[in-house]
Structure 1
Amino acid sequence: MTKLRNSVGEQIRAIRKAKGLTQQQLAELSGLDDAYIGSVERGERNFSIDTLEKIIVGLNISFGDLTTLNNEDTSRKDAIVEYIGIISELDSAQVKTLREILNTVKLAFH
């Protein structure tokens, strides 16, 4: 099961970095120790669902945000992680505006 643990840890790290957070900052936001966050990100720690929930809350993301990245290629994965980092800090109106902008840009590629 270390493959899943490593994958989740890598995704946590990618989202944390996309949001511009240090391990210490995420630890404070999630109520965990920064060394613990590091061990989770490296896949060294067999963590509980409760701990995962604390990290997700600390990152201000949904569980779906964490799990949608598994089947994406690297460039798409990087873009999705960056997008998650951006939208998690916006309010609903700003997210709606961003979606409209992205849809307009998408139409330019067709």
Structure 2
Amino acid sequence: MTKLRNSVGERIREIRKAKGLTQQQLAELSGLDDAYIGSVERGERNFSIDTLEKILKGLDTSAHDLLYDPISTTHTSDFVQSKREAVDEYGIILSQLNIQQHTALRKILNEIKDAFL
């Protein structure tokens, strides 16, 4: 079970950093102590579902975003880490856009993709 706890802690850290939050800021947003947040991120705490819910609310994210990993692990760890950071950052940007902006961005991304392929 330690592997799952470590993975969840790492994802919490990745999402927190992608949102530009410090451990202290996340602690304040979630109503927890910053040292506790650090120990969760390092996989040192066997935390409850209630605590996870507080952290998710503080991160303004869902359990799906925390547990779903769309990045293939067939590449080097640096490549995987870079892709995860990009996905987290893009997800945050997308959550701030309206439907018209989403549509425009998809068109732009498709044009960029076509230019590279």
Normalising TM by the smaller chain, what interval? 0.7 to 0.9
How far apart are 1:32 and its partner, in Å?
A: 1.1
How far apart are 1:78 and its partner, in Å?
A: 2.1
Residue of structure 1 aligned with 2:112, choices 101, 105, 108: 105
Residue of structure 2 aligned with 1:82, choices 83, 89, 99: 89
Structure 1: tracts of 5 or more residues without a match: none
Give the alignment's TM-score, normalised by structure 2: 0.78
2:17 is paired with a residue of what secondary structure? helix
How far apart are 1:92 and its partner, in Å?
A: 3.4
CA distance, structure 1, for counterparts of residue 64 and residue 30 of structure 2? 18
CA distance, structure 2, for counterparts of residue 63 and residue 85 of structure 1? 15
Q: Highest CA radius of gyration, 1 or 2? A: 2
Give the alignment's TM-score, normalised by structure 1: 0.83
Aligned length: 109
Q: Does 1:92 align with 2:98?
A: yes
Q: CA 1:18–1:9 in structure 2 vs 1: closer, same or farther (change >3 Å)?
A: same
CA distance, structure 2, for counterparts of residue 87 and residue 55 of structure 1? 21
Structure 2: tracts of 5 or more residues without a match: 73-79
How far apart are 1:84 and its partner, in Å?
A: 2.7
Q: CA 1:35–1:99 in structure 2 vs 1: closer, same or farther (change >3 Å)?
A: farther
Superposition RMSD on alpha carbons, in Å? 2.0
**Larger displacement relative to structure 2 (72-81 or 95-104):** 95-104
Higher RCO, 1 vs 2 (CA within 8 Å, ≥6 residues apart) = 1
Q: How does 1:1-110 map to 2 (within 5 A)?
A: 1-69=1-69, 71-72=71-72, 73-88=80-95, 90-93=96-99, 94-110=101-117
How far apart are 1:107 and its partner, in Å?
A: 2.7
